[in-house]
C-alpha cells in the first residue's frame, strides 16, 4: 500500500479566523484537507499523511496523542496559545513562517515525546520556586532591570525550602535526596531553563533530562543566580555546582508528602509521578 502524502490542516477555528485573510488563504490553498479542531475528532488519517497543526497547547496534547503511531508526519505551526510547544519544539513565532517551514521541509524525524503520568509534556516539568527567575530572558536587560530582578529573587528566598524526594531510575535502586528544585525536560535544549543549564545539543536519543538542585545553603543560590544574571550564560553550569543531572528513559519521582509541581504552566499536586519517553511520532523539524 502506497503512502497517501496528503497535507491536512487541523486548526483552532477562533485563532484561524483572527489571521490575516492572506494567511488564511495560504493555509487553505496549500493543504488538501482542512479540519477544525474537536476534542472527539475522528480524522481518518492514512500512513504518510502530513498533519499541519495550528492549535493551542491544550489542543496539541489531545491531537498529538491521537496521531501517535498512525505513521503520519506532524508539522507544528505557532499559535497565540502555544507558547510551550513553540519553546519546546523551537518554532518560529510567526504563524505564516512556521507554516511555510512545516510545509516545505522534505523530511520528518522520529521525535521523542516526554510523558508525565501518560500526559504529554510539551516543554517542561518543574518543582520549586526559582524556575521562573532562571527562565526569564535577561540577556537583553540593562543593569537596572537585572538589579531589580536580583532583589526580586532575594525576596523569594524566604519561600525556598529543601524537601526530601525519592528517585527511581529505570531498574536501578531507589535513592533519596534533599532538594529545592527539580526540572524535567524532553531534550537538553528544549526549554528556556535548560538552555541556561545544559550544553547538550537538541537530540532524539530516547532519554529525558532531569535536573536536581541541591544547594547546601541559601548563599549558594544567591551566588549562582548572581553569576548567571550578571555574567551571562558563558558561565555554563559552573555557577550551579550543586546541580545534578539524570539522563534516563524512565523515571519515578515521589515524596512522603504531597508537593506542588508545574507542567507547562499548569500547577498540580501529587505524591508520585512517573516519566517516560515515547517514540512513534514523526515531527517535521523547525
Each residue of 46-59: pLDDT tens digit? 888 999 999 999 99
DSSP, residue by residue, 24-65? HHHHHHT-SEEEE--TT------TT-EEEEE--HHHHHHHHH
Radius of gyration of the chain measured on its C-alpha atoms = 20
For the whole model, what pTM was predicted?
0.85
Minimum mean pLDDT among 144-148, 223-227, 236-240: which range?
236-240
Residues 40-97 pLDDT 10s: 667 778 888 999 999 999 999 999 988 887 889 999 999 999 999 998 888 999 999 9
pLDDT exceeds 80 at position 141: no
Residue 103: pLDDT band with limits 50, 70, 90: confident
Q: What is the dihedral of CA 61, 66, 70, 76, to 10 degrees?
A: -30
Amino acid at each position: 500500500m502506497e503512502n497517501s502524502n496528503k497535507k491536512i490542516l487541523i486548526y483552532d477555528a477562533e485563532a484561524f479566523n483572527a489571521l490575516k485573510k492572506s494567511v488564511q488563504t495560504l493555509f487553505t490553498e496549500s493543504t488538501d484537507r482542512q479540519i477544525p479542531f474537536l476534542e472527539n475528532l475522528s480524522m481518518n488519517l492514512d500512513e504518510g499523511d502530513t498533519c499541519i497543526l495550528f492549535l493551542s497547547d491544550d489542543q496539541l496534547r489531545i491531537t498529538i496523542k491521537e496521531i501517535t503511531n498512525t505513521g503520519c508526519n506532524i508539522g507544528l505551526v505557532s499559535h497565540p496559545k502555544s507558547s510551550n510547544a513553540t519553546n519546546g519544539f523551537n518554532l518560529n513565532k510567526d504563524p505564516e513562517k512556521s507554516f511555510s517551514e512545516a510545509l516545505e521541509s522534505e523530511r520528518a524525524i522520529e521525535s521523542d515525546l516526554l510523558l508525565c503520568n501518560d500526559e504529554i509534556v510539551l516543554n517542561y516539568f518543574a518543582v520549586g520556586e526559582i524556575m521562573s527567575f532562571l527562565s526569564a530572558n535577561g540577556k537583553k536587560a540593562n543593569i537596572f532591570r537585572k538589579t531589580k530582578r536580583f532583589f526580586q529573587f532575594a525576596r523569594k528566598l524566604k519561600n525556598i525550602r529543601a524537601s526530601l524526594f525519592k528517585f527511581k531510575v529505570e531498574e536501578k535502586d531507589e535513592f533519596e535526596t534533599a532538594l529545592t528544585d527539580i526540572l524535567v525536560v524532553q531534550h537538553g535544549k528544549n526549554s528556556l531553563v535548560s538552555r541556561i543549564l545544559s550544553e547538550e545539543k537538541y537530540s532524539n536519543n530516547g532519554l529525558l533530562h532531569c535536573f536536581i538542585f541541591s544547594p547546601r545553603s541559601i548563599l549558594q543560590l544567591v551566588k549562582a543566580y548572581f553569576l548567571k544574571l550578571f555574567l551571562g550564560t558563558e558561565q555554563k553550569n559552573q555557577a550551579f555546582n550543586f546541580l545534578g543531572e539524570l539522563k534516563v528513559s524512565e523515571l519515578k519521582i515521589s515524596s512522603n508528602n504531597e508537593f506542588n509541581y508545574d507542567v507547562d504552566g499548569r500547577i498540580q499536586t501529587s505524591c508520585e509521578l512517573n516519566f517516560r519517553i515515547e517514540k512513534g511520532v514523526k515531527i517535521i523539524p523547525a
